Structure 1
Amino acid sequence: MDKRMRKRILMTVLGIFAGGVSVGFFKTAAFGVDPFQTLMSGLDKLIPIHFGTLYVLTNAVLLLFAFFTDRHYINLGTFINLFLLGYVVEFSHNLLLRFFPEPALPLRLLFMLIAIFMLCISSSFYFTADLGVSTYDAIALVLANKWHVAPFKYCRIATDLACVLLGCTLYLLAGGKFSMLPTIAGFGTIITAFFMGPLIDYFNIHLAKPFLEKE
């Protein structure tokens, strides 16, 4: 195995696990989670099974999209996302709550900023590694790179907004309280929905690609 491939594997594994930890920060901050996790929160409210198991099942369904549109995006990263990410999210969230059971507002704001930047940087690294992406990430990539609907950042904004709207709808249909919506779709979610695509593009150029190409 050459050095470049080892780097790509490292970027894939660390990127995905850091992304899972970032969602734990989102949940602890309670200003809303990232758009896909908003959808997962709605499904979690609607379907009474273990979150890690629900995450695997949801991604298994979404895997069909990548399988029938562009199998290039199905690789190591896809299966790490599929089988492990839900459990990483759950573990990191529980660990943060253990140390910060009732975080004050400034700490919650800090956690939200950490979550946004960690998620964008980690996504950039494992996208650049090009060893498979999550089943959800594949949707925007297929729209942008295979079907040429629009540049990636705009496709990502569209899919993120769709996740937020669907997640909120499912949450309310399952009996969730309207007053609790900001915890799954707060201003942290909106910031992420509109800026995650452009930030990933930025970190691709300035961090991930230089890291991969550096000798």
Structure 2
Amino acid sequence: MYQFKRITMAFCGVTLCGLCVGMLQKANLGVDPFTCFVTGIANIFSSTYSTFYLILTGILLLLVFVLRRHYIGIATIINLLFTGIAADVMHALLDVVFPHPTLVIRWGLMLIAIVFTCLAAALYFTADLGVSAYDAIALIAAYKYRLLPFKYCRIITDSICVLVGFAFDVTLGMGTVITALFMGPLTQWFKVHLAEPLLTHGRSIKTTF
């Protein structure tokens, strides 16, 4: 039962994250920090986003494998397989429901997406069955090397991504700034107050982060 809960949390977390990506795309008020970073690097080489997404994700996966291979697991595979599909489905659905969204609706979609992205991250972090390569970097810094609490490590990695994107002609939006500053703390809050109690339900476990 406990293992089933972990797998369910990982699947729900990754799928919810993909749905939120679709909402952010529809809101069109700024991309997430990692997308900002990848786009900036692609601009340096006058290449495409998809090409450098594969290259940079591959590099990060190799780094994670060397430093803390524990973070590569079933959720990493689910992330690769379902995030894009979930994002496309959500974007297509919103195109039907809101073909020409007002600014108020776009702001609402952005804020809802950011909050639920943090909840999604908390779910699959806590399931501890692997995370995306980018997510693993802040987790390694926080839990393996104890550099800073996770929320601050995430703010630093997100901010670096945003700065790189900005330096290489990526247009930033309010969604980018809000995500960079608040995703770490909000994810940590959801992890402590919702995801961990949901998983343990009175059972004491030792985290393997």
Is TM-score (shorter-chain normalized) higher than 0.5?
yes
Match of 2:181 in 1: 194
Contiguous gaps of at least 5 residues in structure 2: 203-209
The TM-score, its normalising length taken from structure 2, stands at 0.86
Match of 2:22 in 1: 24
Q: How far 1:54 moved relative to its partner?
A: 5.6
Alignment-mate amino acid for residue 48 of structure 2: P
Larger displacement relative to structure 2 (150-159 or 80-89): 80-89
Aligned CA distance change for structure 1 residues 96 and 18 (closer, same or farther; 3 Å): same
The answer as to whether partners of 1:33 and 1:188 remain within 8 angstroms in 2 is yes
Q: How far 1:83 moved relative to its partner?
A: 3.9
Q: SS of the counterpart of 2:184?
A: helix
Match of 1:72 in 2: 70
For the residues of structure 1 that align with 2:54 and 2:81, how far apart are their CA atoms? 6
Q: SS of the counterpart of 1:70?
A: helix
Alignment-mate amino acid for residue 152 of structure 1: F
Q: How far 1:186 moved relative to its partner?
A: 1.2
Aligned CA distance change for structure 1 residues 91 and 57 (closer, same or farther; 3 Å): farther
Q: How far 1:106 moved relative to its partner?
A: 1.0
For the residues of structure 2 that align with 1:39 and 1:115, how far apart are their CA atoms? 19
For the residues of structure 2 that align with 1:88 and 1:130, how far apart are their CA atoms? 21
1:164-203 aligned at under 5 Å gives the runs: 164-170=162-168, 172=169, 181=171, 185-203=172-190
Deviations 1:21-65 (A, max 9, x none): 11111111111122112224445664337x4x7644432221011
Aligned CA distance change for structure 1 residues 95 and 58 (closer, same or farther; 3 Å): farther
1:94-113 aligned at under 5 Å gives the runs: 94-113=92-111
Alignment-mate amino acid for residue 32 of structure 2: D
> Which one of 123, 126, 132 corresponds to residue 124 of structure 2?
126
User: Identity rate of aligned residues, in percent?
Assistant: 46
Alignment-mate amino acid for residue 142 of structure 1: I
Structure 1 runs of 4+ with >6 Å offset: none
For the residues of structure 1 that align with 2:41 and 2:125, how far apart are their CA atoms? 26
Larger displacement relative to structure 2 (65-74 or 161-170): 161-170
Q: SS of the counterpart of 2:137?
A: helix
Alignment-mate amino acid for residue 183 of structure 2: M
Deviations 1:63-107 (A, max 9, x none): 011011011111111122234423433443243234323210110
Aligned CA distance change for structure 1 residues 158 and 41 (closer, same or farther; 3 Å): same
Kindly tell me the number of residue pairs found equivalent between the two proteins: 200
Q: Is 1:206 aligned with 2:193?
A: yes
The answer as to whether partners of 1:56 and 1:86 remain within 8 angstroms in 2 is no
